[in-house]
A and B are shown apart, each in its own frame.
Chain A
């Protein structure tokens, strides 16, 4: 299950986008960041832990896509 960024919590710090090994993360001109669920592999095969989650400074900002959909 890929990850997703909660827009209301994101501070647009670019850290996740810089770290993503599959370039699944991008942003628009308004500084909103998105994870492309078809590209995110949760860093499997690259690193031990999802890089976006490991560097994000805001608790609860990056969550499993399923958690967003449930809400």
Chain B
């Protein structure tokens, strides 16, 4: 691989042109593998795999709350037949859907029959949908041929350690070859099998994303080495995710804390030189549906599915995807014009953007559930990560509670120079101004890249920007 990587170029997109054609085709409309694609295309997980073969100290399988969003959690278990039906229904209701994954709520490969039956049914009825699998890797090498036969092109392996010592702090036991192994013996087997599984995927041309749960006190020191190792073994993408505190987990009981957003950013920067890093992961539930930032799972419960008539139409879906691609191409061209070539990088600033998809500034400050954080310089805008917040506006008359929520949101965005949203109300505007954060809603409904470029030129470089050059 040579030439220009997107991040070195500094453009806001993940320019995939450096990839070989076959790989580029596999990832260009995959919301998890392509940062740009996640603004346009949706994914869904089907919860068909309840059993697990390992215990992780950050996981508590008992807990399932519909308001919670994290891996391992699910509201409604499906049979393979129900899952396939749900996929077809969602694919027609949300035509942006390109990817179906099985991620649990246990481990897909600890449920081989349910998992592979589901994939077979989907492949048969909707061959245009990409298939994904997310596993702890313990028995991955055993099923590699099955994965290849079903053309499951994307496999995610969660690997949290390099050393047995560290792994044994995360995994108290595993179930392997009909035995329960504990402590270091378990950690040793699991690590060996995870790296063997990674190797087997790479050898068979399957794209691998490695997920690592970043728990500062436990594996923080080891992650840069882990990142180097998986890269050298041929992993396509490394996703360093913050540990999410879950009620009743061993880590939670022991008072182990999650990383701060700043710690996460530093860790990602430390590892970035090594490989493609995924920065836009939303750590979705094992039954999540929609664009990455949203979860429309509640619209497709078993109860509601039984009343839906499905006429799966791949041609209609294809047309919609072609329209999306035209829009993407337009935005890409606009981006090149906006940032262009410049010698002087200018100061780097962090900017928070409110968006609910299609790569547009189309969300209000008060209703945003998350902000996308970009690092902007004169050379371009680089996506850093998202930060979840509690929406400040509930539409209720009393805003007393809102004040605390606003404080919490501002604390989370305190290192940002500006907030760009489709609309920012008077009240938060006053508070934000006092904190020296620019409130910008004049770029409403422009593309995120155009809004960032215009903001940078007008507010940071204080240049005059002509109106309506592009972005249409």
A-side interface residues toward B, CB under 8 Å?
11-15, 18-19, 31, 47-49, 51, 54-55, 57-58
- Contact present for A11 and B61 (CB under 8 Å): yes
Main secondary structure of the interface of A (DSSP, over half): loop
When the two chains form their complex, are residues B52 and A54 in contact, meaning their CB atoms are under 8 A apart? no
Is B440 in contact with chain A by the CB < 8 A criterion?
Answer: no
Q: Which residues of B contact A (CB under 8 A)?
A: 50-53, 55, 61-62, 77, 105-106, 110-111, 175, 178-180
* A49-B52 contact, Cβ under 8 Å, with A11-B61, A13-B61, A58-B61: no
CA distance A47 to B180 in the complex (A): 11
CB contacts (< 8 Å) of B62 on chain A: these are 11, 58
Are A13 and B179 also in contact (CB < 8 A) when A18-B111, A58-B62 are?
no
Tell me how far the C-beta of B267 lies from the nearest C-beta in chain A, rounded to whole angstroms. Answer: 29
What chain B residues lie within 8 Å of A48 (beta carbons)? 178-179
Contact (Cβ within 8 A) A55 B53: yes
CA distance A55 to B77 in the complex (A): 19
- Measured between beta carbons, the chain A residues less than 8 angstroms from B111 are 14, 18
Contact A54 B175 (CB under 8 A): yes
**Residue in A18, A31, A49, A58 whose beta carbon sits within 8 Å of that of B51 in the complex:** A18
Asked if A15 and B106 make an inter-chain contact with CB atoms under 8 angstroms apart, the answer reads yes
Question: How many Å lie between the Cα of A15 and that of B106 in the bound state?
Answer: 9
Point out the residue from A15, A31, A51, A57 that lies within 8 Å of B178, measured CB to CB: A51
CA distance A57 to B60 in the complex (A): 9
CA distance A55 to B180 in the complex (A): 7
A49 lies within 8 A of B61 (CB): no
Closest chain B residue, CB of each to CB of A51: B178
Interface contact A54-B179, CB-CB below 8 Å = yes
Which of B50, B52, B55 is close to A12, meaning CB atoms less than 8 Å apart?
B50
Residues of A close to B180: CB separation below 8 A? 49, 54-55
Distance in Å: Cβ of B438 to nearest Cβ of chain A: 48
| Contact A15 B51, beta carbon cutoff 8 Å | yes
Q: Judge whether A14 and B51 touch: CB under 8 Å.
A: yes
- Give the nearest-CB partner of B53 in chain A: A55
Q: Which residues of B lie under 8 Å from residue A19 when comparing CB positions?
A: 178
Closest 10 CB pairs of A and B: A15-B51, A54-B180, A13-B50, A55-B175, A47-B178, A14-B51, A14-B50, A57-B61, A13-B51, A11-B61
